[in-house]
Structure 1
Amino acid sequence: MTAMNEPERRTVLKALVATLAGLSTGALEAPAAAASTASESWTAQTLEAFADTLIPGERRFPGDVVVAGAVTGPGAVQAGVVGLLQSPLLPVAPLLPAIAALLDARAVAYAAVRLIWLSPARPPFVGLSFSDRTALVAGLFDPDDLDRPVWQVMSLLVGLAFDTAAPQDTAEALAQGHPGLTWLRFPEPGPDGLWRFPDFSYGRPLAALHPDTTASGSPA
């Protein structure tokens, strides 16, 4: 089974963790939405297919082979996950070719064992059917897989792109019709740009408001 050696794995993990830290601070301008255009590089195609396996969406155009079209509605690719990862401001960007190559090597091994023919005209992972992509990706998270931490952090980044529109301002992302937030029916902010939730999730308040709580909701 193909796997990274330990120094490479540490380098990739450090970059991925640094990327998460950068996104959490909002230190990155939102990347331009490029999800509506065809992928240009094998690296981008492989990463898009990986993201589409985790959060699938509908095909962007007839004959789209990168997005499998397993569902209707937008997925991680439409939410711009690869544009986010490829931002030159993120530490992980230079390592994406190595991550994509690792996934493609796993796809070649997966296909060889099952006698699946892969077209040389596209990345190996992209050449797999959606069901085979799903089976392969599920195996990446096996507890004994050496590269499991890499795929765990990558999957977290995929989720952040779709579920939170990272690293865009949430109100701006909603105003621009971000595919993930729109699909999830994320609520609009109030007129002042803030979110307030008048209904308690458990049907009742869990505790009385502390008298020293500031107007912003912070403890004194």
Structure 2
Amino acid sequence: MASRKPDDHQDRTTTLEAFADTIIPGEKRYDGDLAVAGVSRGGGAVQAGAIELLEWDATGLTGGLDDFAAALNRHAAAYAAEHGLPAEDGVPPFVSLPYDDRAAVVRWLTAPGHPEKALWVSLALFCNMAYDSAAHLNTAEALAAGHPGLTAMGITRPDADGLWRFRAWSYGRPLADVHPATTPSGSPA
């Protein structure tokens, strides 16, 4: 591969995307996609917005993402050296690993007894969250855009007014009187 000048922010993003793709794999987004290994069909954690969720201040991880990426690359470089794997020039070490080796590094980092386990499990949980709940997105908008996780789980779209109703699974009658101060959207006053 041709040498390129490293870009710290891009390397961080690519490394975190490769981690997210290891947690919930997806298909490559374009030819030459280094971060997404392409071991699965359809969208995975990256396509579900894992990076956007990780960069959302509400996660509490945002300030440490540079450190996560740097540590992951240090672990990957040590793993590659131990297993005699060549490094790709100008590519972050974790990104340059084949998928099975990425998975081996993540299994080791999240294994019982690993001193950094809590950190890596928290990062993995947020990657899962991007896929299975789209916590960083408006649910109706995410469904309309074809969010891969919500779509794969069969989450139904809301009615035309933006509210979800489950007529087929209801008791068929009101369970309680609506409070007089309830707004038309169903929120308490």
TM-score range, shorter chain: 0.7 to 0.9
| Corresponding residue to 2:108 among 128, 136, 139 | 139
| Corresponding residue to 2:151 among 161, 164, 182 | 182
**Deviation readout 1:152-184 (Å, 9 max, x if unpaired):** 111110111111111222122212222321233
Q: Distance in 2 between matches of 1:120 and 1:105?
A: 15
Q: Which residue pairs with 2:40 in the alignment?
A: 71
Residue 151 to residue 195, structure 1, CA distance change in 2 (3 Å)? farther
What is the TM-score of this pair, normalised by structure 2?
A: 0.80
Whether the aligned pair in 2 keeps the contact of 1:57 and 1:72 (CA below 8 Å) is yes
Q: Distance in 2 between matches of 1:149 and 1:40?
A: 24
Q: Distance in 2 between matches of 1:185 and 1:48?
A: 25
AA aligned opposite 2:52: G
Point out where structure 1 has 5 or more consecutive residues left out of the alignment: 1-38
Q: Which residue pairs with 1:164 in the alignment?
A: 133
Whether the aligned pair in 1 keeps the contact of 2:53 and 2:126 (CA below 8 Å) is no
Residue 99 to residue 143, structure 1, CA distance change in 2 (3 Å)? same
Residue 90 to residue 124, structure 1, CA distance change in 2 (3 Å)? same
Q: Which residue pairs with 2:79 in the alignment?
A: 110
Q: Which residue pairs with 1:86 in the alignment?
A: 55
Residue 173 to residue 215, structure 1, CA distance change in 2 (3 Å)? farther
CA-based RMSD of the aligned residues comes to 2.6
Whether the aligned pair in 2 keeps the contact of 1:45 and 1:126 (CA below 8 Å) is yes
- Describe how 1:120-135 pairs up with structure 2 within 5 A: 120-135=89-104
Residue 102 to residue 214, structure 1, CA distance change in 2 (3 Å)? farther
The alpha carbon displacement at 1:40 in A equals 6.1
Question: Are 1:44 and 2:3 counterparts?
Answer: no
Q: Distance in 1 between matches of 2:153 and 2:116?
A: 31
Q: How many residues are aligned here? A: 171
Whether the aligned pair in 2 keeps the contact of 1:188 and 1:195 (CA below 8 Å) is no
Q: Distance in 1 between matches of 2:72 and 2:83?
A: 17
Whether the aligned pair in 2 keeps the contact of 1:81 and 1:161 (CA below 8 Å) is yes
The alpha carbon displacement at 1:214 in A equals 5.4
* SS of residue paired to 1:125: helix
Question: Are 1:56 and 2:25 counterparts?
Answer: yes
The alpha carbon displacement at 1:83 in A equals 2.0
